[in-house]
Amino acid sequence: MFTPIKKKGIGFIMGNHEDKYLQKTESHVGKRICAGLDMPFLGYTALIRLRIPTKTYEDWCPVIYAMHGESSAQTSGGQIAYLKKKSAPFLCDAAVMSHVHTRGIDNNEMYLGLNDDATDVIAYSRHYAIAGAFMRTYWVNIDGVAGYAEKKHYPPSALGCSILRFYPDDRVIRARDYWSK
């Protein structure tokens, strides 16, 4: 299933669905997927340092904090606030979370710090992305069985994903919302 995109993967984050499967079967589906794709298993949370070549500088190495998450917030703002709170202790350029089956971004958080040779104070930005959703939450059931979201009275999911786009020559990250129709 994942083979067509295996070269695009950075690693596998464990979540509540994999955890439930592991508890019921004693089979670690996340580690099995990683072994089949030759991809690192990252656990429940991970700090990931990327190394991106540039034309004008040495390689750029932004850090991403990734987590499966567990927010029960019902709004995009509440979910982003949860991600900001949980990622606050980690020094990173961007933070990403899944679990909530929707998408959302925030590019507006700024910090002050020193430049590389400590001769000037400059602004740094941190970007946040809620990963996305790829299954409709509501549909007409011919067999009368409701899905999980319908049973929990969740709002409809915004289908699609959030994308972190990296501009290495400018050393800039932008979170972007990508939706499917």
DSSP assignment of the chain equals --GGGGGG---B---HHHHHHHHHH---HHHHHHHHHT--B--SEEEEE--B--SSSSPB--EEEEE-------SHHHHHHHHHHHHTTS--SEEEE-SSSSEEEEEEEEEEEE-TTSSSEEEEEEEEEEEEE-S-S----SS-PPPHHHHHTPPPP--EEEEEEEETTTTEEEEEEEE--
Sign of the C-alpha dihedral computed for residues 66, 70, 74 and 80 taken in this order = negative
Same domain, 28 and 114: no
Same domain, 102 and 16: no
Same domain, 87 and 174: yes
Same domain, 149 and 166: yes
Same domain, 6 and 61: no
Same domain, 114 and 175: yes
pLDDT, tens digit, for every residue of 118-130? 999 988 889 999 8
pLDDT, tens digit, for every residue of 103-159? 888 887 888 888 878 999 988 889 999 888 777 777 766 677 777 777 777 777 778
pLDDT, tens digit, for every residue of 12-45? 888 887 888 888 888 888 898 889 899 999 999 9
* Mean pLDDT score across all residues of the chain: 85
pLDDT at 66 exceeding the cut of 90 = yes
Same domain, 75 and 101: yes
User: How many domains, the chain?
Assistant: 2
Same domain, 13 and 91: no
Range(s) of the domain holding residue 5: 1-43
Residue 90: pLDDT band with limits 50, 70, 90: very high
Rounded CA-CA distance 104/130 in Å is 5
Same domain, 62 and 133: yes
Same domain, 136 and 147: yes
pLDDT at 181 exceeding the cut of 70 = no
The CB density around residue 143, as the number of other CB atoms within 10 Å, is 4
Cβ burial of 172 (10 Å; 0-12, 13-18, 19+) is middle
Same domain, 98 and 161: yes
Same domain, 61 and 27: no
